[in-house]
Amino acid sequence: MKNRNTITTLVILIALLASLASITAIFGDKGPGPYEYESIRGQNVEIHGRGLYRHMSADVAIQGIAQDVVTLFAAIPLLLAFLIIYRRRSLRAHFLLAGTLGYFFVTYLFYTAMGMYNIMFPVYTALLGCSFFALLLLLLSADLKELSLRLAPGKATRITGIFLMLNSIAIALLWLEVIIPPLANGSIYPESLQHYTTLIVQGFDLGLLLPLAFVAGVLLYRRTLMGYLAGITYIVFLSFLMTALTAKIIAMGLHGYNIIPVIFIIPVFNLFAIGCAAAMIRSIGKKGGERISAPDYA
């Protein structure tokens, strides 16, 4: 119960702070407007010039605001809804809340590391810490014994495992296509680097998130308990992240950027992730489902 109260406090703080950060970004409009800036590498970059993200490149600022819209109007309400159900000792809500917290953790990890310094930096760091420790407490307090009694694995388990593996490989190849050619031809710096110090998203994805997704997919495909713990949490997280990515692509299109062919690909991946997440949550039924044997904890 102690962890439950601590998690509740952290989640409420996350909801309040994320609301503040999102509202400030969405509705802030101060600044001189768009302008050109020459980076240290001699690249001309269009700067957004308005609001909280005034010092960020125009395309990245647009994407950030789109993600803030998803955070404010989807992620925060669902976070609070899952918290209420979680406090009723729902095992399904335990994983829904964990996956949603994963979204907040990764979102504000990127905002803290990649976002040009602004007045919300202390808020980003607080959100990063609160979401990390809330997620950690949830994962550590998961009742694997109860989970083993309530799981009813079906085809969705292996389909979700395969999807996590394939998605991680596809995104890794996409990022390597950005990174490798400039290294191979000697130009070194990808055009998408713009005026930023390094490729934060690609670095965190390739070094941390994509390997985690792949391993979770393998373990889930093998129907291990650790696979269910990591896989269900990750697929819920991925549903939120892909929703934010879909919103980013739509926002880019509305501002005149070329979004072909990703506008046809990412929403499909998004819907598939949501479908897999729903199927995995449904697989956690009442006691008496197919029991997962004790050796499968590893």
Residue 261: cis peptide before it, omega within 30 degrees of 0: yes
pLDDT reported for residue 154: 83
Q: What tokens were used for 80? A: 């609070």
pLDDT reported for residue 75: 98
How high does pLDDT run on average in the chain?
A: 93
- Please work out, in degrees rounded to the nearest 5, the angle formed at the alpha carbon of residue 280 by the alpha carbons of 1 and 236: 70
Mean pLDDT of 6-10: 97
Q: Which residues pair with 37 in a beta bridge?
A: 45
Share of the chain above pLDDT 70, in %: 95
Mean pLDDT of 3-22: 97
Judge whether 285 and 152 are in contact, CB under 8 Å.
yes
Count of structural domains, the chain: 1
Domain that holds residue 60: 2-297
Long-range Cβ contacts of 291-295 (<8 Å, 24+ apart): 291/148, 291/149, 291/151, 292/147, 292/148, 292/151, 292/153, 292/223, 292/224, 292/225, 292/228, 293/148, 294/148
What would the pLDDT profile of 133-180 be if each residue is shown by its tens digit? Answer: 999 999 999 988 888 888 887 889 999 999 999 999 999 999 999 999
pLDDT of 110 over the 60 cut: yes
pTM: 0.94
pLDDT-derived band at 189, boundaries 50, 70, 90 = very high
Q: What tokens were used for 233? A: 């949490």
What torsion, rounded to 10 degrees, do the Cα atoms 107, 110, 114, 120 define? 50
Rounded distance, CA 170 to CA 58, Å?
A: 26
